[in-house]
Amino acid sequence: MHGQTLRTMVFCAILGVLAGCASDPYRGWSEVRSAEHKFKLKMPAPPNEDQKKMPDGRQVAVWDLEDGIGKGGGGFNVNAGPTPIPEAVDTKTAFDLARDGLLQKFKGKLVKEADFVRQEKTIGRRVEMELPELRQKGIIVLVFANGIGYQLTVMGSPSWNGWKKADRFFDSFDLLP
């Protein structure tokens, strides 16, 4: 009887540990945090970090994570850098211009888009597109806040397994004070 009770307790303890692991959708993910760019988010694995100089001279920080590229894969990407919106341009127009620029750059076809509000003031836009020449699709979330532009991108083949992680990636994005 005592042996059976011990086995039951061990079994319950294992189930408890497994249940705890299963309840964290970000278990094994890496946090990206930038005090300079005032944001944090999680990526499925540690990304490569780099700096990129834009044609207008701005420095943009880039976090890139390739996941099975060349094998029907895709990747996760975050860009953050100063993005002042001219006073004559409202936020909606700024998102429209950014969306149009992305569609042109990737020769993409707009599938759908939606505006959203986060943290009571931050306005963003989610853009989904097909990229026929690359045989891929992309989802891009744009956020403009405090003079900083954020572009979160998930791009890959339509059959890529990483799409299951895309919403978790986007949902993990938070601005820091």
Is residue 37 predicted with pLDDT exceeding 60? yes
- Whole-number pLDDT of residue 152: 94
- Whole-number pLDDT of residue 126: 94
Tell me the pLDDT tens digit for each residue of 78-136.
Answer: 999 998 777 777 888 888 989 999 899 889 999 999 987 766 655 789 999 999 988 88
- Whole-number pLDDT of residue 173: 93
Q: For the chain, which domains are there?
A: 26-175 (3.40.1000.10)
The conformation of residue 136, written as its DSSP 8-state character, comes to: E
Which pair of tokens denotes residue 104? Answer: 């042109």
Return the closest-CA partner of residue 169 out of 69, 78, 35, 73: 78
> Mean pLDDT across the chain, nearest whole number?
83
- Whole-angstrom CA distances from 54 to 75, 77, 153 are 21, 16, 17
CB 148 within 8 A of CB 155: no
Facing residues of 80 across strands?
A: 61, 150
- Whole-number pLDDT of residue 119: 60
User: Residue 15 — pLDDT band, cuts 50, 70, 90?
Assistant: very low
Tell me the pLDDT tens digit for each residue of 131-163.
Answer: 998 888 999 999 988 889 999 999 998 888 888
User: How many other C-beta atoms are found inside a 10 Å radius of the C-beta of residue 114?
Assistant: 9
